[in-house]
Each structure stands twice: as structure tokens, then as C-alpha cells.
Amino acid sequence: MTSLVKRGLLLLALVLALAAAVACGGGGGEPGPEASPTVLAAVQVSYPLTIADTVGREVTIEAQPQRIASLSPAATETLFAIGAGDQVIAVDKFSNYPKKATTREQLDAFEPNLEAIAAVQPDLVLLFYDPGELAASLERLGITTAVLGSVEETPESVAAVFDQIRLLGQMTDHVQEAEELVADMQGRIDAIEEALADVEQGSRIFHEVDATLYTAAPASFVGGLYKILKAQNIAAEADQPFPQLSQEVIIEGDPEVIILADGDYGESPDTVKARPGWENISAVRNDRIFVIDPDIVSRAGPRLVEALETLAEYLYPERFE
């Protein structure tokens, strides 16, 4: 796995080196951050393009894809954000953002039907999960397929997301837009980090994934976001990314803020307040229970920053509006 990641990074380094070379040769000016978007415009992806997807398969894309089937909600969001939305002809049923994506043909990412995918005649299929041999079967049908793994269990969330955005930019020949998106996201993350520069230690938090008390530990993607916000995760001792905490551990951990990612399934600040034994938890006493859209905190897409900004507002209301 690590060698595969390395390969991806190598490729990335190559693109950046190329960009730098173009910058130096072209204007002779300094390749400052403001200059980079225009400079990168000169980077034209030349097909056939061979990349390594996140599970290490070598994927060769013959020409700029025009009929993409995206079976990954995160990839769908990214494609639309980098201006490749028009190249998307089909999405999976969880690809609910942006609105425009829902007008595309719908496929199933968890129980994918080979025939249904082939029927939309895609020239590129993006998966975030291969339920066994799907990629190989699609390749046998002559359909180029790339697996962009889920980052749910990747605590280094930001870096992983940027990698995937850049990779999609390359694959679809939207390198410049991808770089611009990454730069915008990085800028907003920097602004948050700057605003929190003097914070030693943030609030104790409990992030509720579901009502049976599954949570997101520091080893998860969501956990990585809380690390950026300097929050103290009360599930820090758990070794799995998504452990089911004992109720008494939550009471003893005394979270100051509770974030509910299960609002769609009937949980709300009121239901939390009504739980016996929870009435003396700081977050309950101080009414600091918030609901967050689970989609934005779990997808390796452009809305990662939105998640971060929303959480920052919940955790530091005095610093963010």
C-alpha cells in the first residue's frame, strides 16, 4: 500500500516539477502562489495517460474521458467542482451533491450491477470501493476503471483529499481547476488554523455517528478534522477509527461539545438531553449540542472545508461566526 501511495506522490511530484519548469522557462518570474494558476494552465494533460489509482492498479486513460460513471459521492462532488461535471453521465445513488449530479443516470455503488454500468457506455468508471473483482470485470469489457479509495479511515484527511482532487484533475484534463480548488481549500484551512494559532487545547468533543454510540476516533477522517481544530476527542483511547463507546465512558469523558452526525436518523439535541445519566454532561448542561450533515464530514471532496468551517463555528463560536 505505501509503495502505491509513493507512486502516486511521485507522479504528483512530476506534474509539479513540470509546472515549475514551465514557470521558470516561461516568464522568468518568481513562481509565487498567486502566479501558479496561470502557469499551470500551460500544463496540458497528454493522453494516453497512465496513473496509479489508490489501490495501486495501473490505469491507462486513452483520451479525455467524456462519459464518466462516478460510483463515488466524493468523486462526483470533486468532478463538478473542477468543471468536469459535463463529462459525468452517471452517478451512484448516494451522489446527492451538487443538485445537478442527481439529474444523471443512477447506479448502485454497493451492489453494483455490471450490466447496468456497461449499459450507460462509460469511458471511465470511478469506484471508491470494489466489492470484489468489479474493476477487473469492467476492464475485461474494455471499460477503463479507477478505484479512488474511501478516506474514511485516513486521519491525514486533508492531504488525502488534495491528492484525490489533483488526481481527478489530471484524469479529466482539468488540472488547473483542480489546483485552484486545492489552493482555495488550503487558503480556508490556513485561515482556520491561523485563527486558532493561540489555542493550546480546544474543547472536549464527542462526535456521534449513530444512536448506538458509534463515534469517530482520532484514527478516522472525521477525527483528523477535529485534530486540526485542536479539539480533545473523548474517544482518543480507542484504537479503531469508528468504535462503539460504552455509555459510561462518554459520561466520564464529559464532552463540552456534542456533534450529532445522525440527525437524519431521528437524533437531535432534545433526544440527547433526554438520555438518562447524560443530564450532567457539560455539553448538555450548556446546551452545546449541534447537528452536522454526515455527508460533508465523511466525503473526501471539496466540502471538507465546509465541514471544517462548520465545526470551527460550533467549537469556537467566539472566534468564528
Partner 1 sequence: MKLFGSATRAEELPEAALSAMLGRALWPRLAVGLAVLLGVALLAAAIGPVAIPADAVARIILSRLPGVSLADSLPQSWQDIVWEVRLPRVVIAGLVGATLAFSGATYQAVFRNPLADPYLIGVAAGAGLGATAVMVSPLDASVGGVSLVPLAAFAGALTAVALAYALARVGRTVPTVTLILAGVAISSIATSATSFLMISHSQRVLTTLTWLLGGFNLSEWSKLWWVLPYVLPAAVIILLHGRILNVLQLDEEQAQQLGVNVEQVKLLLLGAASLATAAAVSVSGIIGFVGLIVPHTVRLLWGPDHRQLLPMSMVVGAAFLILADMLARTVNSPSEVPVGIITAFCGAPFFLYLLRLRQRAVF
Cis peptide before 241 (omega within 30 of 0): no
Contact 286, 256 (CB under 8 A): yes
Tell me how far, at minimum, the Cβ of 278 lies from partner 1, in Å: 8
Which residue stretches of 1-102 are H helix? 2-26, 36-40, 73-81
Q: Which is nearer to partner 1, 12 or 211 (CB)?
A: 211
Q: Which is nearer to partner 1, 128 or 316 (CB)?
A: 128
Residues of the shown chain interacting with partner 1 in the complex, contacts defined by CB under 8 A: 94, 110-111, 209-214, 235, 237-238, 240, 242-249, 251-252, 254, 264-267, 271, 275-280, 294
DSSP-assigned letter for residue 199 = -
488550503: which residue's cell? 186
Backbone angles phi, psi at 9, to 5 degrees: -65, -40
Q: Which is nearer to partner 1, 61 or 234 (CB)?
A: 234
Q: How far is the CB of 242 from partner 1 (least distance, A)?
A: 7
52: three-class secondary structure by DSSP: strand
As measured in angstroms, the least distance from the Cβ of 254 to partner 1 is 6
Q: Which of 64/271 has CB closer to partner 1? A: 271
Residue 130 CB, nearest distance to partner 1 (Å)?
14
| Residue 260, H or E segment | strand 257-260
CB of residue 317 to partner 1, shortest distance in Å: 25
Cα–Cα distance measured from residue 321 to residue 309, given in angstroms and rounded to the nearest whole number: 10
Q: Which is nearer to partner 1, 214 or 316 (CB)?
A: 214
Q: Which is nearer to partner 1, 60 or 113 (CB)?
A: 113
Q: Are 104 and 73 in contact (CB under 8 A)?
A: no
Q: How far is the CB of 220 from partner 1 (least distance, A)?
A: 13
Tell me the sheet residues that pair with 259. 207, 290
154, 150, 116: which is closest to 134 by C-alpha?
Answer: 116
